[in-house]
Chains A and B, each alone.
Chain A
Amino acid sequence: MSRAGWKVILFMAVCGLVFERPAAAATHTAQLGGTRVVWNALLSGEIDAYPEYTGTLLQEILASEGLSTVDELSVALSSRGIGMTASLGFNNTYAIGMRSEQADRLGVKAISDLRGHPHLVFGFGNEFMDRADGWPGLQRHYRLPQTDVRGLDHDLAYRGLEAGTLDAIDLYSTDAEIAYYDLRALQDDLGFFPEYDAVVLYRLDLAERAPPVVASFHELAGRIDAATMSTLNARVKLAGESESAVAAGFLEQSPGLQIEPGTDTAGQRWWQRLWQRTAEHLALVAISLSAAILFAIPLGILAARRERVAHVVLAAAGILQTIPSLAMFVFLIPLLGIGGPPAVVALFLYSLLPIIRNTYAGLKDIPAPIIESAVALGLPPNARLRVVELPLAIRSILAGIKTSAVINVGTATLGALIGAGGYGQPILTGIRLDDMGLILQGAVPAALLALLVQGLFEAIERTLLPRGLRLQTNALGATD
């Protein structure tokens, strides 16, 4: 189980705590991507609590403060309005893992032994690649010579290792896969990796709003040791139990923890889940696409009328299109928080370019004699647009909308990264749990929806396209 996965389990536990008190009115957002995203959400009050590691706080989030002890950390956190529990009981530090069979063959026992094998291929989780306490620091500390180092999703890395395309990956010491894939966690012989004690972070104002909730967080301290965590991870990852069920089981079987597990989607029937995701996905697509249509068509018209505007608008929309979706989401979180709104805005921005460009091109492609005939008749510009130009550009405009709609349906699956739900939810969970069935539960409806949306716009095109245009594209050819 990845570190993120552990977070999900504990989050369920935390939600169990929170749901126990309806007055706290908590919502839980299970699939938040990246430590920074969750941290910022906590600071801004989007969420009230989440589990974190002391190592991540010291080495990454608050690295610039030069803190070294947990006490100093506690002080630094409270100055930001954040409280922290004591360690929950396990240290889930990073480790470097190889297949045991290969490690034996190469005689690698500790990380420093890797120096003798410069051609090994490393694959690290995207967070580990960039963190100061990840690969850059590790490479310096051990003077490692490897150059073929790839960043990829942590859960996919296990499969790369198993398939032999990767020789070494980053692990967490409580990962269930260590035993499952017969891996060796290499000894950190030069003492690079810091302590990663699990704690719960919460907003200090939560202690005022819901004191019993905060008290329950503190009750969790020292309750989960490394062996327990590994077992829980294995039950989710290897036995395929749902995270909420495992968390609920753990809470029930822990004497002295008066915590009632929260309800979760796992309790729903598959069609209820599908319906909920479809509704979420459709809402994301419908809102963002309608807004994009209303905004992009006038912009395309303006661009077709003013060449200078065209340069600026098309360039700006083009640049927006090149921003990777995850980066776009992260840009939007400080402005709009997490969940639906930033996802809708991101999808809106991505939907602009095809519509603007096709509106512009559709208007520009109208043959000059037709435009001149309309001008010479004495039609004022607005009437010309309505009566002549837009009807003639309609095919191109609709093609742009169709492109946007299909891209939108696909991109909306990424909305799940920032808690917007939709078909991306099972896809992300499926990737994390290595569960192809779960991935298909999201991917298949998303593909069907894309086809459906395309069909819908083709039907609209058949209705809107003037018959005169369907007859013959080039009505200007004057032949007898």
Chain B
Amino acid sequence: MLELSQVSKRYGDNHALKSVDLAVAVGETVVLIGPSGCGKSTLLRLIVGLLRPDSGTVTFEGQVLTAASLLKTRRRMGYVIQEGGLFPHLTVRGNVSVMARHLQRDAAWIETRLADLAGLVRLPATLMDRYPAELSGGQRQRVSLMRALMLDPDLLLLDEPLGALDPMIRYQLQQELKAIFDELGKTVVMVTHDIAEAAHFGQRLVLMREGQIVQSGSLKALAENPAEPFVEAFITAQLEPMSRLNAVLG
């Protein structure tokens, strides 16, 4: 469904991605993880076409992405970013339906779809005419997810979708989001820096460092057979606070 082949991207002298290969199968949930600046967000932005690779190709549903084909393929992808990226001058309804209205979809179809999606992400119908400034952070992310799902995309791309939320809301949304993914059965590529979140969502974790993929597999595989000391160090660094917490609580 999605294949990156020898993809490189640099910003000036800084190699953001170095010859990355990655394949994502239909229905798979892949989580890109790694320290800040490892290139995981860049990878996602290359897939949605916000960036163009310096070399290598991105193939989506058997078609190599080009500047010309991007406009169409983007409509088969949903993209959610950390702080939602909602249009502040449009209501919830306006934000979610903006693309459908541009494509002149039937008004009745749009209303039905809006109601279905609001049910799916558990957004109260009373909020449909609110502006983003009138919503909480968690509600904004629900709206952003509705917008991404509006045209029923084949691929869902999420860049730290829960990164800006406080831990309680974040935990709750993690549970709900996972349920939604399971229900929709969509192909998902998600970026996070939190290994617990990655393990919660991902059948497959892709650990990155300095623009390259270090290791790919389940958390268990990564922990038991680290490809290099960095993998072990990265997992330990994130698990250590948990074990300290457990020790205190006895």
Measured CB to CB, the residues of A under 8 A from B are 369-370, 372-380, 383, 387-388, 391-392, 466-469, 471-472, 475-476, 478-480
Please tell me if B18 contacts chain A, counting CB pairs below 8 Å: no
B85, B89, B166: the one contacting A373 at CB < 8 Å is: B85
Docked complex: B65-108 residues within 8 A CB-CB of A: 71-72, 74-75, 77, 79, 81-91, 98-99, 102
A376, A387, A388, A480: the one contacting B48 at CB < 8 Å is: A376
Q: Which of A376, A388, A466, A475 has the most CB of B within 10 A?
A: A376
Docked complex: B131-159 residues within 8 A CB-CB of A: 131-134, 136-138, 140-141, 147
Measured CB to CB, the residues of B under 8 A from A are 45, 48-50, 71-72, 74-75, 77, 79, 81-91, 98-99, 102, 131-134, 136-138, 140-141, 147, 164-166, 169
* A373 / chain B contacts, CB cutoff of 8 Å: 79, 81, 85-87
- In the complex, are the beta carbons of A471 and B83 less than 8 A apart? no
- In the complex, are the beta carbons of B50 and A372 less than 8 A apart? yes
- In the complex, are the beta carbons of A370 and B99 less than 8 A apart? no
- In the complex, are the beta carbons of A392 and B89 less than 8 A apart? yes
A369 and B85 in contact, given A376-B50, A378-B99, A387-B102 (Cβ under 8 angstroms): yes
- In the complex, are the beta carbons of A475 and B79 less than 8 A apart? no
Q: How far is the CB of A427 from chain B (nearest CB, A)?
A: 43
Q: Which of B98, B141, B165 has the most CB of A within 10 A?
A: B98
Closest to A374 in B: B87
Q: How far, in angstroms, from A372 to B147 measured CA to CA in the complex?
A: 14
- 30 pairs, A vs B, C-beta closer than 8 Å: A369-B82, A369-B85, A370-B87, A372-B50, A373-B85, A376-B49, A376-B74, A376-B77, A376-B79, A377-B75, A377-B99, A378-B71, A378-B74, A378-B75, A378-B99, A379-B99, A379-B102, A387-B98, A388-B98, A466-B88, A468-B88, A468-B91, A469-B89, A471-B133, A472-B133, A476-B84, A478-B137, A478-B165, A480-B165, A480-B169
- In the complex, are the beta carbons of B72 and A378 less than 8 A apart? yes
B71, B85, B132, B137: the one contacting A372 at CB < 8 Å is: B85
Q: How far, in angstroms, from A471 to B135 measured CA to CA in the complex?
A: 11
Q: How far is the CB of A381 from chain B (nearest CB, A)?
A: 9
Q: How far is the CB of A33 from chain B (nearest CB, A)?
A: 48
- In the complex, are the beta carbons of B50 and A375 less than 8 A apart? yes
* SS class, residues of chain A in contact with chain B: helix
Closest to B85 in A: A373
Other than the given A375-B74, A378-B72, A480-B136, 10 more pairs (CB < 8 A) read: A372-B81, A373-B87, A377-B147, A378-B99, A469-B88, A469-B89, A471-B131, A478-B83, A478-B141, A478-B165
Q: Which of A369, A372, A377, A383 has the most CB of B within 10 A?
A: A377
A380, A388, A471: the one contacting B134 at CB < 8 Å is: A471
* B98 / chain A contacts, CB cutoff of 8 Å: 377, 379, 387-388
- In the complex, are the beta carbons of A476 and B79 less than 8 A apart? no
* B45 / chain A contacts, CB cutoff of 8 Å: 372
A374, A383, A387, A475: the one contacting B132 at CB < 8 Å is: A475
* B136 / chain A contacts, CB cutoff of 8 Å: 479-480
B48, B72, B88, B165: the one contacting A475 at CB < 8 Å is: B88
* A479 / chain B contacts, CB cutoff of 8 Å: 136-137
Closest to B48 in A: A376
- In the complex, are the beta carbons of B138 and A480 less than 8 A apart? yes
Closest to A370 in B: B85
A468 and B131 in contact, given A377-B74, A478-B164 (Cβ under 8 angstroms): yes
